[in-house]
Amino acid sequence: MTNDRNKAASDWRRYYQHRLLPRVAAAPWVLRVTEVKDKPSPVLIIKERYTLDTGADNADDQKRRVLRDRGLLYGQSLRRCLRALQTILDEVLDEVGIPLGIARYIPAGHISFRGNLPLDHTAGSKLALIFKLQERVKDMDRVELIAWRVERFTREEALYWLTRATQFGEVGNRWAQAGMRTMLGGQPGDPAIQDLLSKMRK
C-alpha cells in the first residue's frame, strides 16, 4: 500500500512538471498553494495575470505581463469550500478540450502539494469571486453556499459579478460585495440555507 501511494505521488509530480507547470507562465489566472506566516496551512492564493505599462521608450518593453493577488482562502473556509472548488477545477481544460486534472492537487484531507496551478478565465474568475465574498463571513454554512452558487455561474456571469465586486472604487466595491453575500448566501440564521446546501451538495 505504501509503495502504491509513493508511486501515485511520483506520477502526480511528473504529470505536474510536464503538463501543468509549462502552462503556468501563460495562464490568465494562477492558483498558488502555499504557506503563509500566522495562517493555517495550506493557503490558496488566487492570482490574475494582467498587463503592466512600464512607460519604457522601447515599444517591446512598454508592457509586460505580471501576476497580482486577488484573494486567499485557508482554514475552515477552505475546508467548507473544497468540494465546490474541486468541481470548478475539474472543468479546466487544455487547448483541445481535455481536462487538465487540476483538482487532484487539492484533495479532500491532507493537501501536500505546494506550487502554482494554471487556470482559465472561468475558473479564475469563479475562485476570485468566492475568495473575495467569503471574507468577513463567519457563518460557514453561508460561506459554503456562496461557493456552490458561484460554482454554477457561467463564465460570463462570473466575469460580470467579479467586475462589479472589485472595479468600482472602495465604497462601490464594499456595497456590491455586501449585496452579493446576501444574494448568494442569504441572511445569517435563515433556515433556507440548509435546504439549499443539501440540494447543491448532491
pTM of the entire structure? 0.90
Which pLDDT value is given to residue 69? 96
| Residue tagged 521608450 (cell numbers) | 57
Give the integer Cα–Cα distance in Å for 130 and 151: 9
At 97-153, the pLDDT tens digits run: 999 999 999 999 899 999 999 999 999 999 999 999 999 999 999 999 999 999 999
The pLDDT of residue 36 is: 96
pLDDT score, position 154: 97
Model confidence over 13-65: pLDDT tens digits?
A: 999 999 999 999 999 999 999 999 999 999 999 999 988 766 655 555 446 78
Written as nine digits, the cell of 128 is 476570485
